[in-house]
Amino acid sequence: MKISNRVEAIMASKSVSMVARVGELQKKGIPIISLCVGEPDMPPPEEVMEEMYLAQKRINCGYGPVSGHPALREKLAEQIGKAVKRPIRAENIFISNGSKQIIYNIFQTIINSGDEVIVPSPYWVTFPESIKLAGGKPVFVPCLTTHQLDLSAIRRAIGPSTRAIILNSPNNPTGAIYNTDDIFQILQWAEQFNFAVISDEAYAFLTYDQKTFTSPLTLLKHHDTEDLLNRVLTVQTFSKSYAMTGYRVGFLVASAELVKNMDKFQGHVCGNVCTPAQASAILALTMPQDYFLQMKKTFEKRRNLAHRLFSKIFDLTPAQGAFYLFPRCDQYYTETIKTSDDLANFILEKAQVAVLPGSAFGAEHYLRISFATSEKEIEEGFHRIQKALGERR
């Protein structure tokens, strides 16, 4: 069967492909250490898992509202409104199957053929492909060597076809938290040149060293809330902060008009998100947060360990958030190892450790190393990689 041009034009996710490859090797009995997975290695709280079961007995599990369960939308509106000190309403909340589908929905809803979306790089692997699937054109703007935004380059990239910019802070893959002043400047340009700011905040909870994360929604305080929500589209998920990756519950904070149009679009794609999963999300929001705070402390401890170890063999900027290191790696290139893909494959085959090549994130000469695993695995993975790099030819 002939495959459509739009699907032929996109790349498969290297992170998904690597996870599948690791699974196949482990099934063969090969002791692979996975430092490539982008999800918490601990389960959600017992109560959250139990709620998934109990909800099926307690509530109607037939088709639900496309935009999300009213109780979840209301609770999110209440909590987000308090956090950003703005009157957020349930009509401003849209629920979908993880932030990945939220981002896909956004571009399908606001992008026309030929529209441009500015994508600072390194970027999450799904951003450019979602833009292309909507008929848009990703315009890549490399960040500074500190992994902070390059404002001069972003300003040069803004043109008559610019429809949006997508920001991901804390960033996957770099762990960088973008400077507040830089975000404020982008918001001003968004007003001046009439484009949207999409803020992917999947890792907003996971920040370290008492570093504060700034959501664009907390800026431009003099703006009317609905006008701001028509300009700033905030994407969040229960996957990372609540260790609920498989539940597939993500949400958007945006204008009521955009939510209404996304409802129209999603109604023809998948309809509602799994109702029991939304019930678990409500419980995760409202229960005591001690479990999640401890999870955050665990990740910070692992970050400290991973940085201390891998900075011995790589040029490394400390991760301020998320759960990744993003070291430069081209000092280890040889006549046969010429790219980050080559090096990631060498490490997998020689050290039996899975990491991801920077090319997956638009940043050749880097590797992404996840510390979302045990300290024992981090230490063993480091020693294997250190030994393999010393034996390369």
**Claim to verify: residue 173 and residue 208 sit in the same structural domain:** yes
Task: Enter the tokens of residue 175.
Answer: 């762990």
**Claim to verify: residue 281 and residue 132 sit in the same structural domain:** yes
**Claim to verify: residue 226 and residue 345 sit in the same structural domain:** no
Domain housing 71: 60-286
Average pLDDT, the chain: 95
Which of 27-41, 87-101, 110-124, 271-285 comes out lowest in average pLDDT? 27-41
Flag whether pLDDT at 60 surpasses 80: no
Flag whether pLDDT at 222 surpasses 90: no
Taking only the tens place, the pLDDT of each residue in 133-175 is 999 999 999 999 999 999 999 999 999 999 999 999 999 999 9
Q: Quickly state the pLDDT bin for 59 (edges 50, 70, 90).
A: confident
Domain endpoint, select from 269, 286, 303? 286
Flag whether pLDDT at 20 surpasses 90: no
Q: Is residue 48 part of a domain?
A: no
pLDDT of the residue at 296: 97
**Claim to verify: residue 67 and residue 185 sit in the same structural domain:** yes
Taking only the tens place, the pLDDT of each residue in 91-140 is 999 999 999 999 999 999 999 999 999 999 999 999 999 999 999 999 99
Flag whether pLDDT at 267 surpasses 80: yes
Q: Higher confidence at residue 62 or residue 306? A: 306
Q: Quickly state the pLDDT bin for 393 (edges 50, 70, 90).
A: low
Write the Ramachandran bin of 362: left for phi over 0, alpha for psi from -120 to 50, otherwise beta: left
Flag whether pLDDT at 284 surpasses 90: yes
**Claim to verify: residue 205 and residue 176 sit in the same structural domain:** yes
Place of tokens 């495959």: 3
**Claim to verify: residue 128 and residue 271 sit in the same structural domain:** yes
Taking only the tens place, the pLDDT of each residue in 181-215 is 999 999 999 999 999 999 999 999 999 999 988 99
Flag whether pLDDT at 64 surpasses 90: yes
Question: Count of domains in the chain?
Answer: 2
**Claim to verify: residue 123 and residue 165 sit in the same structural domain:** yes
Mean pLDDT confidence for 40-57: 94
Report d(CA 367, CA 157) in Å as an integer: 26
pLDDT of the residue at 226: 87
Mean pLDDT confidence for 347-359: 96
pLDDT of the residue at 170: 98
**Claim to verify: residue 314 and residue 378 sit in the same structural domain:** yes
pLDDT of the residue at 44: 97
**Claim to verify: residue 210 and residue 65 sit in the same structural domain:** yes
Taking only the tens place, the pLDDT of each residue in 330-344 is 999 999 999 999 999
**Claim to verify: residue 203 and residue 338 sit in the same structural domain:** no
pLDDT of the residue at 383: 98
Dihedral sign for Cα 274, 276, 282, 288, please. negative
Cβ-contact 69, 95 below 8 angstroms: yes
Report d(CA 178, CA 187) in Å as an integer: 13
Q: Quickly state the pLDDT bin for 224 (edges 50, 70, 90).
A: confident
pLDDT of the residue at 36: 92
Residue 36's CATH number: 3.90.1150.10
Task: Tell me which residue of 283, 289, 284, 288 sits closest to 59, measured CA to CA.
Answer: 283
**Claim to verify: residue 279 and residue 296 sit in the same structural domain:** no
Residues of the chain above pLDDT 90, percent: 87
Q: Quickly state the pLDDT bin for 24 (edges 50, 70, 90).
A: confident
SS3 annotation, the chain: CCCCHHHHCCCCCHHHHHHHHHHHHHHCCCCCEECCCCCCCCCCCHHHHHHHHHHHHHCCCCCCCCCCCHHHHHHHHHHHHHHHCCCCCHHHEEEECHHHHHHHHHHHHHCCCCCEEEEEECCCCHHHHHHHHCCCEEEEEECCCCCCCCHHHHHHHCCCCEEEEEEECCCCCCCCCCCHHHHHHHHHHHHHHCCEEEEECCCCCCECCCCCCCCHHHCCCCCCHHHHHHHEEEEEECCCCCCCHHHCCEEEECCHHHHHHHHHHHCCCCCCCCHHHHHHHHHHHHCCCHHHHHHHHHHHHHHHHHHHHHCCCCECCCCCECCEECCECHHHCCCCCCCHHHHHHHHHHHHCEECEEHHHHCCCCEEEEECCCCHHHHHHHHHHHHHHHHCCC
**Claim to verify: residue 169 and residue 212 sit in the same structural domain:** yes
